[in-house]
Amino acid sequence: MPEKLLSIIIPIYNEDKVAADSLPAIFSLKINKEVIVVNDGSTDETGPILNKLAATYDFRLIDQETNQGKGAAVKRGLEEISGDYFIICDADQEYDARDIVRLFTEMLEQNNDQTVIYGSRFLSTRNHGFHYLVNKFLTSMTNALFHSRLSDMETCFKLIPRSALAKIRLSGRRFEIEPEITAQLLKAGYKIMELPISYTRRGYREGKKIKARDGLLAIKTLIAEKLFR
């Protein structure tokens, strides 16, 4: 039986301060993988850094001329995947790329295409800052609307069978893609498992891009998924 393949999608926008350090950790993971990097219209030195990395590491690079948002970059990357499973990994070093190996190993052990595995930041760490409270509110709202028991709906690390793409339709262009993915997976009957992962939150001075309006957009997305879609 052929070895299962994991597609790793990396949306990236203006990350020249960290890309040269963060991306090799993903490229070097010792699993059967393909890596697709979507440069979402970066205007800093991210592009030249990616071109330099391409001389050393094996990955596919997609350049979008204008910045369209994380959701749009992810959807573009999904058009290119050939793996049995896929996961999104940001290039900002908030997540530890090594946790992808743990999630993928667990998925292979489950061997069930109706299972999705989330890496939960809140099963292993305690963080009572403002972003934590917003995430917990959105997760609680998801649980109430879709009868789930998640601890971290907004996590970036969602390891999903490629076959699920036939059952979900993603329209979000920014960070609302996270609640959109979760709501549609739950409505389609997927079982979402959670494993604890490492997480180091960065601030806006370090380049964090999610804004307060993204929280409001997430609420709107969850309500729309429940009532209208």
Return the pLDDT at 176.
87
The answer to whether residue 35 sits within a structural domain is yes
The answer to whether residue 1 sits within a structural domain is no
From CA 43, how far away is CA 65, in angstroms rounded? 10
194: number of Cβ within 10 Å: 19
pTM, two decimals, is 0.92
- The string of pLDDT tens digits covering residues 15-27 is 999 999 999 999 9
Rounded to an integer, the average pLDDT of 45-54 is: 97
- Cα–Cα separations (whole angstroms), residue 69 to 10, 129, 131, 168, 203: 13, 25, 20, 19, 19
Q: How many domains does the chain have?
A: 1
CATH of the domain at 32: 3.90.550.10
| pLDDT of residue 48 exceeding 50 | yes
The answer to whether residue 46 sits within a structural domain is yes
| pLDDT of residue 201 exceeding 80 | no
| pLDDT of residue 128 exceeding 90 | no
Query: Within 13 Å of residue 132, how many CA atoms lie on the same side as its CB?
Result: 11
Name the band, by pLDDT with cuts 50, 70 and 90, for residue 207: very low
Rounded to an integer, the average pLDDT of 148-162 is: 96
Burial class of 187 by CB neighbour count within 10 A (0 to 12, 13 to 18, 19+): middle
The answer to whether residue 48 sits within a structural domain is yes
What residues make up the domain containing 106? 6-227
Asked whether 197 and 96 are in contact (CB, 8 A), the reply is yes
Q: Which of 188, 181, 190, 189 lies closest to 153, judged by CA? A: 181
